[in-house]
Chain A
């Protein structure tokens, strides 16, 4: 093989490595700056969302008034031993749910684990995550395996206890 060809192969290989890296960078650039871009677009479109009649339907289907954000201030216990009580969650960002006394939301239920699941405020949404409990956490009847966002009126069930965010 000629010197020139080997030289081209040599340059070519390093070039291919860099092309690979740069194209990966161009993909994850969106990942690096993505959030800012999204929020800007969302803000520009927010007035259009609130005012546009055609969009109102899709927003209303979530059970909300135009432009209102679901911002629950308490947990209302629906069934179980503590049924009828409610827990204030305004200002909280993270709630540990379980049978253990150190939990923010203590559930006296034989089917609940000590640290059963967790509610985390991510942005404006409350997100429910199961902490690998023995008997599982159910959101609207479906078992929570990966963290799930809680919508208005969604009921959470742990053992025989159910509650919702209001």
Chain B
């Protein structure tokens, strides 16, 4: 009899732990502690004392994370238990770093303060995530309207190019705004695109994967089945031309490639897609001046003409110097000079982290992202339904690819692009979009099979 209880108990335990809400609660307390530690360290290093200001930056996100946890307990008991704490950790570390940069800005008499906004935007984004979990009881509803989602994504992408409401910031036309309020529709569009691809590919995957003739070692699909990939390649180049942003177009095209490869299992799409992407980028670097400058700054950041050029490699070089200054264990939060890097609170927040937490700390942060994306792929892998699997792959890959493009840009591995670091960078649209992704992944995870006792 003891054998039986052992055979049933062990799988139960293994399945139960990462999904248990109590486990999630323990992790949330732990993460709240780490975030408080980060804020305390910033204050000790910069102000030489701890003050109650810290509570303002710590308590609201902690409470909001608590609310999400409560909603999950009520409405999605079987959801993955690691995603919420991991995302909350990244978000909290981001707030601590932005607060630290604010303190430096205040001490040199500047007025560009981001941390207060970031705190409220974080709370807002987490509440939106809770609402999504609550209001979307079954994510398969999303499967019904793939073309609507696709059309809305295109509409949102075109929106910044519209007159009056469209805004150009730092050379990229990615914003719409009225007065003080501005918003990046592209962030929402990436979720809609993932829904569209998942819905489209789930119905077309058989045609796309089975039919075709054999050429050399891979199967080449029929010309008319190549339509979608060509269309999307053209569309992402269109984004590049209209919005002057390399990162966004790489993100959309990469998302499409991953999802079509996942759906069909054909290496042809990846090979053809990557070739097209590299060709497109090379041509763009010749044709468009701003892309060409990015390429020059990437290939030779230390050359004087690139360093001194407007929009040249000054920022990247500051980031590289900063990370070199950080060494292996870093200068400690508040101990370095990340304020010297332009846009350290948004695009270059990873460089600021690399300086103050060092190689060890930066790798820890990358490991947290890795775990987050891994959980997303795991959710996809254990789901019985094809649409959900594809959607989960797409959503987690959006986070993964975005991080890859940003991190390689900051480290000089790829040309710098205008993507935001998920959960960390200052900016509301990106926070809301990424928290909605987490909410959808939690929803998918809850509906998958491996629920204990069901």
- Tell me if A24 and B371 are in contact (CB < 8 A): yes
A17 at interface by CB-CB < 8 Å:
yes
Digitize B140-177: 1 where CB-to-A-CB distance is under 8 Å, 0 elsewhere: 11011000000000000000000000000000000000
Q: Which of A10, A31, A54 meets B330, CB within 8 Å? A: A10
Looking at A35-43, A76-84, A158-166, the stretch in contact with chain B turns out to be A35-43
- Tell me if B10 and A38 are in contact (CB < 8 A): yes
Chain B neighbourhood of A14, CB < 8 A: 329-330, 357-358, 360-361, 364
- Tell me if A31 and B332 are in contact (CB < 8 A): no
A30 to B446, CA, bound (A): 19
- Is chain B's binding surface mostly helix, strand, loop or mixed? helix
A148 to B329, CA, bound (A): 50
A75 to B332, CA, bound (A): 66
Chain B neighbourhood of A25, CB < 8 A: 371
Digitize B1-19: 1 where CB-to-A-CB distance is under 8 Å, 0 elsewhere: 1011011001101110110
Chain B neighbourhood of A41, CB < 8 A: 6-7, 10
B243 at interface by CB-CB < 8 Å:
no
- Tell me if B140 and A132 are in contact (CB < 8 A): yes
Interface residues of A in 34-68 (CB under 8 A from B): 34, 37-38, 41-42, 45, 48-49, 52, 54-55, 58
- Tell me if A54 and B1 are in contact (CB < 8 A): yes
Q: Which of B11, B333, B374, B385 meets A13, CB within 8 Å? A: B333
- Is chain A's binding surface mostly helix, strand, loop or mixed? helix
- Tell me if B41 and A9 are in contact (CB < 8 A): yes
- Tell me if A17 and B14 are in contact (CB < 8 A): no
- Tell me if A20 and B14 are in contact (CB < 8 A): no
B232 at interface by CB-CB < 8 Å:
no
A17 to B357, CA, bound (A): 10
Q: Which of B13, B30, B361, B454 meets A20, CB within 8 Å? A: B30
- Tell me if B14 and A34 are in contact (CB < 8 A): yes
Chain B neighbourhood of A4, CB < 8 A: none
- Tell me if B140 and A131 are in contact (CB < 8 A): yes
A24-B371, A127-B449, A131-B140 given; A1·B17 CB < 8 A: no
Chain B neighbourhood of A146, CB < 8 A: 78, 446-447, 449, 451, 454
Chain A neighbourhood of B141, CB < 8 A: 132
A54 to B15, CA, bound (A): 27
Chain B neighbourhood of A24, CB < 8 A: 27, 82, 86, 371
- Tell me if B360 and A30 are in contact (CB < 8 A): no
A residues near B (Cβ < 8 Å) are: 1, 6-7, 9-14, 16-18, 20-21, 24-25, 27-28, 30-31, 34, 37-38, 41-42, 45, 48-49, 52, 54-55, 58, 118, 120, 122, 127, 129, 131-132, 146-148
Shortest Cβ-Cβ A-B pairs, 6 listed: A10-B332, A132-B140, A17-B364, A34-B14, A30-B14, A147-B449
Knowing that A120-B384, A120-B385 touch, tell me 18 more A-B residue pairs with CB under 8 angstroms.
A1-B48, A13-B332, A14-B329, A20-B31, A21-B367, A28-B82, A34-B11, A34-B15, A37-B10, A38-B11, A41-B7, A41-B10, A49-B4, A55-B1, A122-B384, A127-B449, A132-B138, A132-B140
> Can you identify 26 A-B contacts, CB atoms within 8 angstroms?
A6-B44, A6-B335, A13-B333, A14-B357, A14-B364, A17-B34, A17-B357, A18-B360, A20-B34, A21-B367, A21-B368, A24-B86, A24-B371, A38-B7, A41-B6, A45-B3, A45-B7, A49-B4, A52-B3, A118-B385, A120-B385, A129-B384, A132-B140, A132-B141, A132-B143, A147-B385
